[in-house]
Structure 1
Amino acid sequence: MSNTPSNNQGDVKTLLEKIKDINTAMLSTADEDGSIRSRPMRHLEANEDGTIYFFTEYNSGKTDEIKNDSHVNLSYAKPGDQMYVSVSGKAQVYRDQQKIDELWNPAMKAWFPDGKDDPKIGILKVTIDKAEYWDSPSSAVVHLYGMVKAAITGEPAHPGENKKVNL
């Protein structure tokens, strides 16, 4: 399992490929007192330029936290596949009707009942600074083999891939 940092654009593509089918990310922000707050966010779009988009309520606690400190973390998990991703970056919240129209899908009506013209909708854009992912085979046999091999050879088990990506 490699965990050396990388600056390769191909690694960004790999990172985005890993999160593309995960619909929800946990967004963590810092409150005024420094405490960390996390909440689930519906993932809308991730681009190879290192930007990830969400809809959010334009005037909310999280937008206040982001205005105070733009550093955020996004956590993605697909436990059934033993795949986990942590993304650190900077966030901004803004209104852009053209981008709202571009990203809109009918499922968003659950949060914004007035549709894409709801004046409460804001765009939450996260620009990735760095990320790390862990992707392990989900097979119990593969994990058992790795543990047995580690016990016999004295080397640590490396059951999958771990990579750091820097933008």
Structure 2
Amino acid sequence: MEAKEQKNGQLTKVRDMVDDIRVAMMTTVDEQGNLVSRPMAAMQMDENGTLWFFTKRTSPKVEQIDQNESRVNLSFADVSDADYVSISGTATEVDDKAKIDELWDPQVKAWFPEGKEDPELILLKVHTQMAEYWNSSSSKMVRFFEQAKAALTDTVPDMGENKKVYN
């Protein structure tokens, strides 16, 4: 039971970091085998590690996901706080009006001029298989000091917490 509680706590940490950062670079594989990334706003990450994004039904990423076993990577970065999250998982397209209503934000209308009724509007649901995070609770000055100290003493700096979370 203790291992499950620890995993849940780490997944909660990942979810909190994703909520704070919100915009991810979503990486897929194109038809030539190239890794392709684009910014995507995470609308929600639930307690099970499932992330939700709005997208266009005919976007290249949807085709790339369909052609490459649904594998995606999401990277979140808050450079000023030295907080980073990488999530590997599988993505599926979801056309669910109730979920669209639940997640809708008026800012999304910039990409979907017809609003929630836009025929191009669908959701991408990403199931987290593994997440890794790096989190520094130290100020920039402390991080700089740690780096300088490590350089002078030939040691590795303590830059904060780094964990892998398997879902």
Give the alignment's TM-score, normalised by structure 2. Answer: 0.89
Correspondences of 1:46-61 after superposition (within 5 Å) = 46-61=45-60
| 3-state SS in 2 of match to 1:59 | coil
Counterpart residue number, 1:35: 34
Query: Which ranges in structure 2 are unaligned for 5 or more consecutive residues?
Result: 1-5
Q: Does residue 1:145 correspond to 2:145, yes or no?
A: yes
**Identity within the alignment, %:** 45
| 3-state SS in 2 of match to 1:21 | helix
Deviations 1:118-152 (A, max 9, x none): 11101100000001111124524312432354356
Q: Does residue 1:160 correspond to 2:160, yes or no?
A: yes
Preserved contact between residue 58 and residue 94 of structure 1 (Cα < 8 Å): no
Query: Which ranges in structure 1 are unaligned for 5 or more consecutive residues?
Result: 1-6
More displaced 10-residue stretch of structure 1: 10-19 or 149-158: 149-158
Preserved contact between residue 51 and residue 127 of structure 2 (Cα < 8 Å): yes
| 3-state SS in 1 of match to 2:155 | coil
* Larger helix fraction of residues: 2
Preserved contact between residue 136 and residue 159 of structure 1 (Cα < 8 Å): yes
Counterpart residue number, 2:105: 105
| 3-state SS in 2 of match to 1:107 | helix
Preserved contact between residue 138 and residue 160 of structure 2 (Cα < 8 Å): no
Question: Which structure has more RCO (C-alpha within 8 Å, separation ≥ 6)?
Answer: 1
Correspondences of 1:2-151 after superposition (within 5 Å) = 8-69=7-68, 70-137=70-137, 139-147=139-147, 149-150=149-150
Q: How well do the aligned residues superpose, as a CA RMSD in angstroms?
A: 1.9
Counterpart CA distance in 2 for 1:111 and 1:140 is 36
Give the number of equivalent residue pairs: 162
CA positional deviation for 1:38: 0.5
